[in-house]
Structure 1
Amino acid sequence: MAKIVALHYFAVVTRCSSLRDAATQLDIHPNVLARHISQLEYYMDAPLLERGPLGIRLTAAGELLAAKLDRTINELDHVARLIDDLKGLRGGLVGVHAAEGVASAVLVPVLAAFSARYPQVRARLRTGTAKDAVRAIEDASCDLALTFFAPASDAIAVVRRVRLPQFIIAPPGHPVTQAGGAVCTLLGSYRWVLPGPEFGVRTFIDRAAAEAGCRIVPTFEAASLALQRALIREAGALAVLPRAAFADEIAAGTMVAVPFPEAMPVETSLDLCVPADRQPSFAAERLRRDLETALMQLRP
């Protein structure tokens, strides 16, 4: 147990400029922290830190340990959750990584119902690209990922895949909402807000536009759903998202979902991913089932 505590302490030290700063974050005396680091160095049989007048920096051995530390601690935390399951406890933590375009529309309602059934379970949520999601599963910092176009990886298994049409999300009265306003020849003349090229959905949009003979150059690049919503409303920009992402606004009439022209279908793969070789905790397994049910009920 002492070694595990020392590893946790060292993880904090790697993000600080001095042992005193790290001790403050950990709410322990600097001498106690120094003793744990010394014990870890003794166990590793190598110095992990170099101490100087300007603070601390990692040695080569310290850099090597730090590179592996997050995954090691995450795996230990995962084992602790599995042990809790063996004891019949139904609490703990489940980590979920989601594409922001579906996080509020799909994930949040599922989590709300899940939390009502299992109030002792905590959820740690992250958003980002599909590559971010794969990395989070690989380093054991999340248990589930809900993302568009999951990249191939030996570390993940796609347990549910749905085809989800994307729509042009526009403010009411925009020319694209009028008859003939969504033809390919006009799409390139509008103002768009799209995620950056590191997102799989952006790559798909660019390819679909090129194949249809038009070129869409975004005026704004933003992955944040809140920013996209504001730019649609304030700048008259067009976004590309599933209808579910703006279901409330569409129902209220403050935004309109316009289908892409037949010559330019934009349909994405929404993938529910889990670790390929890591046993799920009770909470992760139950949440996976709930998410699968929600995905099966999705409608274009």
Structure 2
Amino acid sequence: MAKIVALHHFAVVVRCNSLREAAAQLDIHPNVLARHIAQLEYHMNAPLLERGPLGIRLTAAGELLAAKLGRTINELDHVARLIDDLKGLRSGGVSIHAAEGVASAILLPVLTAFSAKFPRISVKLQVGTARDAVRALEDASCDMALTFFAPPSATITVVKHLRLPQFIIARPHHPVTLPGGAAPQALTGYEWVLPGMDYGVRTHIDRVSTAAGRRIVPRYEVASLDLQRQLILRAGALGVLPRAAMADELAAGSVVAVPFPETMPVETSLDLCIARDRQPSFAADSLRRELERALRPLQAGDTESGAQVADFRRSQVTLGQSS
């Protein structure tokens, strides 16, 4: 147990890059922390830190230990949760990594209901790219991931896979909403807000638009979903999002969802992923089941989205004829 405590303390020192700051964060005396590090160095039979007037620096052995330590501590925490399961405890924590585009629209209602059902289970939500999600699963810093276009990995399993159509999100009366306004040749003349190329949806948009000979180059490159919303609403830029990500704004009539042309279909792969070789805790398994239940109507909604696309295109034809 003393070695585990020392490893945890070493990880905090690495994160803080200061013995004094780490001691304050751990709420122990700096001399006690220094003694724990010294015990760890004795166990490893190698110096881990070099102390100097400018602070501390990791030795080669310290860097090697730090690189492996994050996953080790995460796995120890995971084992502790499994032991709690053996005792019949329904407590602990669960961590999920999600794409921002689904975090507020899909995850938050599920997490709210989950917390009410299991009040003793804490939930940690991380937001980032699909690559971030896979790395978090690989280093055991999350239990599951819900992300767009999960990159292939030998260490993860996709347990739920959905195809979600993406729409052009615009303010009402934007030219893209008029007959012919969403034609491929018209799309290049608008101002767009899109995430960076490290996001799967952006690379998909780039690939599809390039294949159609009408490459979409964004005026604004923004990762934050909230900032994308603001640029759509305030600056009149066009965004590319699933309808669920703008459900409130669509219901209020502050934005409209315009389908992409048939020759430029844009859809995303929404993947619920877990680590392939990690036994789920009760908390993780329970949240996964709740998520799968929440995703079923979303998958069924693909048919509804298709009907909405058809209705929109019919309305554009009608508008064009009447004008």
Q: Deviations over 1:197-234 (max 9, x none)?
A: 01111010011111222011000011111100110011
Aligned-residue CA RMSD (Å): 0.8
SS of residue in 1 equivalent to 2:202: helix
Aligned residue for 2:164? 164
1:78 alignment counterpart: 78
1:120: which partner in 2? 120
Q: TM-score, normalised by structure 1?
A: 0.98
Matches within 5 A, 1:92-107: 92-107=92-107
Q: Is the 8 A contact 1:166 1:240 kept in 2?
A: yes
Q: Which amino acid aligns with 1:225?
A: L
Q: What's 2:33 paired with?
A: 33
Structure 1 residues 7-44: Cα deviation after superposition (integer angstroms, max 9, x where no partner):
11101111234311211121110110011001100111
Distance 1:65 1:295 in 2: 40
Tell me how many residue pairs correspond in the alignment. 300
The answer to whether the Cα contact below 8 Å between 1:162 and 1:296 also exists between their aligned partners in 2 is no
Secondary structure (helix, strand or coil) at the match of 1:94 reads strand
For residue 176 of structure 1, what is the aligned residue in structure 2?
176
Give, in whole Å, the separation in 1 of the partners of 2:75 and 2:165.
Answer: 36
Match of 1:239 in 2: 239
CA distance in 1, matches of 2:45, 2:74: 24
Secondary structure at the aligned position of 2:111 is classed as helix
Identical-pair percentage: 74
Pairs within 5 Å for 1:219-238: 219-238=219-238
Partners of 2:293 and 2:238 in 1: how far apart?
A: 31
User: Does residue 1:149 correspond to 2:149, yes or no?
Assistant: yes
CA separation in 2, counterparts of 1:4 and 1:183? 61
Aligned equivalents of 1:16 and 1:200: distance in 2?
33
Unaligned residue ranges in structure 2 (runs of 5+): 306-323
Output one character per residue of 1:51-102: Cα deviation in whole Å (capped at 9) or x when no partner: 1122111100000000011101000000000001111111111010001111
- Mapped contact 1:129–1:147 kept (Cα < 8 A): yes
Look up the match of 1:277: 277
Shift of the alpha carbon at 1:112?
A: 1.0
Shift of residue 113, structure 1, vs aligned partner:
1.0
Hey, which of these two has a bigger chunk of helix by percent?
2
Return the alpha-carbon distance in structure 1 between the equivalents of residues 31 and 102 of structure 2.
47
Query: Whole-Å Cα distance in 2 between the matches of residues 139 and 51 of structure 1?
Result: 29
- Unaligned 5+ runs, structure 1: none
Shift >3 Å, 4+ stretches: none
Deviations 1:232-285 (A, max 9, x none): 011111110100000010000011111111010001110000010000000110
Partner Cα distance (2:64, 2:17) in 1 = 18
TM-score, with structure 2 as normaliser: 0.92
| CA distance in structure 2 between the partners assigned to 1:293 and 1:208 by the alignment | 31
Matched position secondary structure for 1:66:
helix
Name the CA distance, whole Å, in 2 between partners of 1:161 and 1:180. Answer: 33
- For the 8 Å contact 1:156–1:273, the answer to whether it is kept is yes
SS of the residue aligned with 1:62? helix
- The aligned counterpart of 2:261 is 261
Give the whole-Å Cα distance in 1 for the aligned partners of 2:126 and 2:35.
34
